Copies of this chain bind each other. A is one copy, B any other.
Amino acid sequence: MNQFYFLENRICNLLRIQYPIIQAGMVWCSGWKLAKEVSEYGGLGTIGAGSMYPETLNEHLTKIKNALKPSVPFAVNLPLLYPQIQDHIELIIEHRVPVVITSAGNPKIWTEKLKTHGIKVLHVVSNVKFALKAQEAGVDAVIAEGFEAGGHNGREELTTMVLVPAVAEACKIPVVAAGGIKDGKSMLAAMVLGADGVQIGSRFVCSLESSAHENFKNFILNAPEDATSLTLKELTPVRLLKNDFYQQVIEAYQNDASIEDLRNLLGKGRSKKGMFEGDLKEGELEIGQVAGYLKDILPAKKIMENILKEYQNLIAIIKK
């Protein structure tokens, strides 16, 4: 087994994909169009169900299945705290979704049911303790996500560089690295750290096919290098672009906001408003630290091609 060569790679074998690259399921940014492109190219495209009502998820599942050959796998990302999770699970089983990526919750509750239906289950973790619990719960692989990742994040603040080798050394099952990965360099670095594959989010937000609003995409392209911050730690830590809404959060902290105040300030629908509707002032804009260094919007397949080309070039340099 040599994870650097995809024919021997455990994530490729497990998920029956050509390249060990998972496009992250991201609220409001990753519908069936983006997932289809990535899966068609040979990675694993993921529909982010966290921002979808069951009828919306049903629509996206129907469309991706119509668009992809039956042999081409794709995934659904499912936050386990989602209120209508039961409905989502039923839809996933009904549509025979090949892979489910679960996060933000206890993997013991749904893993067995999903696996009984032949569905592969990956679970997102932020420390070794949770990784071992997920392994015990029977998941097929864990996704070790570092502090630099966008959106919801672990409380320990362990970075990809520190977390990935620790999880890979502790677990028997395959490990996917997430957080700070955007190109061939960071992909190979993650594999060197012991990962069997990578999950890439922010880079795909800035793809032609992502459902992120144009305003959001363009805001990212102009973001300075210190553009994001991990905040709202008293609720669920989340990495955001520092826009007007973020400044409101900072002011709330300065005025000794209670957890209730913060929850009220966040309110409902802010992430939709920002990421999907393009309200850069009042919306919540979830993105990773790499946002400060993204400089173009590309077709998802071109992103895949670039990543793999850089990865192979680096391998060739090392081999010299």
Contacts and interface: CB of A to CB of B under 8 A. Distances in A.
A317 B318 CA distance: 11
A320 B2 contact: yes
Nearest to A179: B161
Nearest to A156: B226
A160 B192 CA distance: 15
Contact of A289 (B162, B180, B193): B162
A151 interface: no
Most buried by B among A129, A189, A319: A189
Nearest to A193: B189
Interface string A181-198: 101011011101110000
Interface residues on A, range: 35 or more
B161 A226 contact: no
A161 B188 contact: no
A155 interface: yes
A190 B165 CA distance: 13
A141 interface: no
A317 B2 contact: yes
Contacts of A319: 318-319
A166 interface: yes
Nearest to A4: B318
Nearest to A311: B192
Given A190-B189, A192-B188, A128 B225 contact: yes
15 contacts: A2-B317, A5-B320, A127-B225, A156-B226, A157-B229, A159-B159, A159-B160, A161-B179, A162-B180, A162-B292, A165-B186, A165-B293, A185-B193, A189-B189, A315-B318
Given A146-B159, A148-B159, A186 B193 contact: yes
A192 B313 CA distance: 11
A5 B166 CA distance: 27
B289 A158 contact: yes
Contacts of A179: 159, 161
A155 B189 contact: no
A287 interface: no
A244 to B, nearest CB: 20
Contacts of A127: 225-226
A157 B149 CA distance: 12
Contact of A180 (B161, B183, B190, B317): B161
A260 interface: no
Interface string A234-275: 000000000000000000000010000000000000000000
Nearest to A230: B157
Contact of A160 (B161, B188, B292): B161
Given A146-B159, A165-B183, A318-B318, 16 more contacts: A147-B148, A147-B159, A157-B226, A158-B289, A158-B292, A159-B289, A161-B179, A161-B189, A162-B180, A165-B185, A185-B192, A188-B192, A189-B189, A189-B193, A192-B314, A192-B318
Contact of A148 (B161, B183, B192): B161
A243 to B, nearest CB: 17
